[in-house]
Chains A and B, each alone.
Chain A
Amino acid sequence: MAVTALLVDGLTVRFGSFRAIDALSLAIDYGEVRAVIGPNGAGKTTLLDVISGITRPKEGRVLFDGAFDLTQASDSAIARAGIRRKFQKPSVFEGLSVRQHIAIGADAGFRRALDAPALEDRVSEVLETVGLAGHATHLAGELSHGQKQWLEIGMVLASDPKVLMLDEPVAGLTDEETERTAQLVRRLNRPDRAIIVVEHDMDFVERIADRVTVLHEGRTLFEGPMDKVRADAGVIEVYLGR
């Protein structure tokens, strides 16, 4: 297995004259939890949009497993390849039950990937993992904000993805919920999985991240472990120091 899960190479994304991402290059390895931080407008969510196929870049490519160019693939094909993402705003299907969400997440595509008993097992397992086993029959619309965040994580987790992207997983959560989410993320870390987390909560980032990439105006400002990030003068100037 290749060690590099995602290779971002010379990526540029423009919205009109505004460069959301400017010739960005970075590599994310299997087995690591990578945090991407940066001030608002640094290009964090846009980066995830490109990786998940929602936004087409102007230039550059994103290679998955060294071969699959994600910038040429559709969003659903990328998901079927094993790259899943939790959105910044909790995106759940309000008209469906919690159990249905996990089942949809576990089955990619219209043909069932798992037979009925296997699916049942998988759903129960995931519900247990994200702590929603007691709410299996509830409609998503009835859940609290934190539960929706976990439900979405469970949904993207259900297919056992190779790359997992979490966009602000603890925004709007209580301290206790944040703590539980941190434990969850650490538990999800596996040698054959890369996890990318975009987050503003520095304590949370410090708890979960192996490495941190600091984006600023669409470019990499710094890359390294969190303690080095806190010490870097450039980062302090644009971000932490303010």
Chain B
Amino acid sequence: MKLAPFVSILVGVLAGGLLLASPAGAQPLDRAALIARMCGEAAAMGEAGTALAALAASGEEAERAWAAPLPRAAIDRTLACDEAGAVLTEGGLDALTRAPRAAQGTPRTPLLSLKNRPVYELADAAFTLRMAPSVSQRAAALKILERRPALIPAGLLEGAAQAETDAGLKAQIENLAQSAALNAADPALRRAAIARLTENPNRRTLTQLTGLKSDAAYATDAAFRQAVESGIAKVERGIALGDALATLYNGLSFASILFMAAIGLAIIFGLMGVINLAQGELIMIGAYVTWLVQQGLRSLAPGLLDWYLVLAIPFAFLVTAAIGIALEASLLRHLYKRPLMSLLATWAVSLFLMNLVRVLFGTQNLQFETPFYVTGGVPVIGDFIFTWNRMFAIAFAVVTLALTWAVVRKTPLGLNIRAVTQNRDMAACIGIPTRRVDMMAFGLGSGLAGLAGLALSPIYSVNPQMGQNFIIDAFMVVVLGGVGTIAGTVVAALGIGQINVLIEPLWGAVAAKVIVLLMIIGFLQWRPEGLFAVKGRRK
């Protein structure tokens, strides 16, 4: 009798914890005895099957490799029992030593009883789940296990989950492990399962836990009831936290888009007192340029297609900046002392651009690829998923903010912009070319709108009217933030973005807009010049 396998199984059992569900797992066995049982009576065969399943759950790798073909052989009746033990007829190998030999005398191929068959099928599936090379095989095995959660040996699913490389299958295994433990016979095991379940609170686990309230143990077992109650409370807290985080996150991403739409407006407004009603259409054109870059890559360099969002950055910026500069040079330059007329003029441009795009591209939504870096997300807590497409917009806005700040604070152009914003006449007197500064600033502001269009293309639908959806919110950001301050724009965008997202689930999107507008009007009672206005005496 070899001692090593027995010790190894025992160690494996101990390592799997003292919570083993199957009584067979604790039974001492060695390879020869196992084979003997498989060739024995129905009761012995059943014990062998249970032992095999336990082996799949907590045996050493070498043991598992040895035992893996056995359940299948029993099911397919390719296990031939003879005096010397048994032979796997499939490859002509001795069942115990795996040395080639033929069966002796008249071998018997034991038939699985109706009761034993599921035990062996389960054991086979357990081995497949842990050892099959292909994901589809493992997934099929998991399906079999799912049908008989009560028979699954302890530690199997945990071990399989740990070794699983496919993220989707891994999640499925973990789910099954939880519900298996939840329905286990041992109350301690169930409580432990509840505790584990609460570590990952979301609406599905809440449903699972709430389902336990109708369980028989809930009425009879006080400890169990208490575990369920506190588990539900904990999960609800987690869900609330997750929802709050999700709201904040969505608000942040909306605020990022608002910020990007508004920062260009704010710079231009501070400088020239002009609100550019065509800013929404510049956003739209930024998105269309992004789409064109995607289409270009598709036909010229398909390998780079995934990177179109990054590669389109200079194009989106330059195209919209060029439009802005052309707009300033041809139209707004003549309207400096007439801000209300410039409103109408920029609206004419907005009308023109929108209809031009409509004629050229049609009115349908554009189709965008979703590259891997804006696909999916990381589940954090509750139902809050940290999605990459929103993160892309947020990160993009942060980078834009940093760059805009750097341009305005650290470059000669920025210095000139600030000088002209504060006092145009004085700036002109000390030799700042105010007209050129206006033109460059308009280009900058327009280019930023183009980048906003790029950033929102993975999240929102892109069509000729899309600019209208953001522009009025963006105006409100400028009004709230005050004339031409970056800080004001950031704070106002965050405020309006968050308030919109906060109110929306309570009273709907329309109410959110109404309340935001009322709040802004109310706010202007208190600070008519916006949040960060520069005060001075009447000029």
Contacts and interface: CB of A to CB of B under 8 A. Distances in A.
A20 B537 contact: yes
B536 interface: yes
A39 to B, nearest CB: 16
B530 to A, nearest CB: 15
Contact of A45 (B534, B535, B537): B537
Contact of A46 (B534, B537, B539): B537
B292 to A, nearest CB: 46
B538 interface: yes
Interface string A11-26: 0000110001000000
Which of B534, B537, B539 has the most A CB atoms < 10 Å from its CB? B537
A55 interface: yes
Nearest to B535: A15
What interface size band does chain A fall in?
under 10
A91 to B, nearest CB: 10
Contacts of B537: 15, 20, 45-46, 49, 54-55
A46 B539 CA distance: 11
Contact of B534 (A16, A54, A55): A16
Interface string A54-77: 110000000000000000000000
Interface in B522-539: 534-539
Nearest to B538: A54
A89 B534 CA distance: 21
Nearest to A13: B537
Contacts of A54: 537-538
Interface residues of B, number: 6
B538 A16 contact: no
Interface in A1-38: 15-16, 20
Q: Is the interface of A mostly helix, strand, loop or mixed?
A: mixed
B536 A15 contact: yes
Interface string B496-516: 000000000000000000000
A72 to B, nearest CB: 19
Nearest to A54: B538
A20 B538 CA distance: 13
B538 A49 contact: yes
Interface in A173-209: none
Contacts of B534: 16
A45 B537 CA distance: 8
Contacts of A49: 537-538
Interface in B333-356: none
Contacts of A45: 537
Contacts of A46: 537
A16 to B, nearest CB: 6
Nearest to B536: A15
A54 to B, nearest CB: 6
A204 B52 CA distance: 114
Contacts of A16: 534-535
Nearest to B539: A89
Contacts of A55: 537-538
Interface in B361-420: none
Contacts of A20: 537
Contacts of B539: 89
Nearest to B534: A16
A92 B536 CA distance: 22
A20 B537 CA distance: 10
A108 B537 CA distance: 25
Nearest to A50: B537
Contacts of B535: 15-16
A17 to B, nearest CB: 11
A98 to B, nearest CB: 24
Which of B534, B536, B538 has the most A CB atoms < 10 Å from its CB? B538
B343 to A, nearest CB: 21
B42 to A, nearest CB: 94
Contacts of A15: 535-537
Interface of B: 534-539
What 7 A-B pairs are tightest by C-beta distance, nearest first? A15-B535, A15-B536, A46-B537, A49-B537, A54-B538, A55-B537, A45-B537
Interface of A: 15-16, 20, 45-46, 49, 54-55, 89
15 contacts: A15-B535, A15-B536, A15-B537, A16-B534, A16-B535, A20-B537, A45-B537, A46-B537, A49-B537, A49-B538, A54-B537, A54-B538, A55-B537, A55-B538, A89-B539
Given A15-B537, A16-B535, 9 more contacts: A15-B535, A45-B537, A46-B537, A49-B537, A49-B538, A54-B537, A55-B537, A55-B538, A89-B539
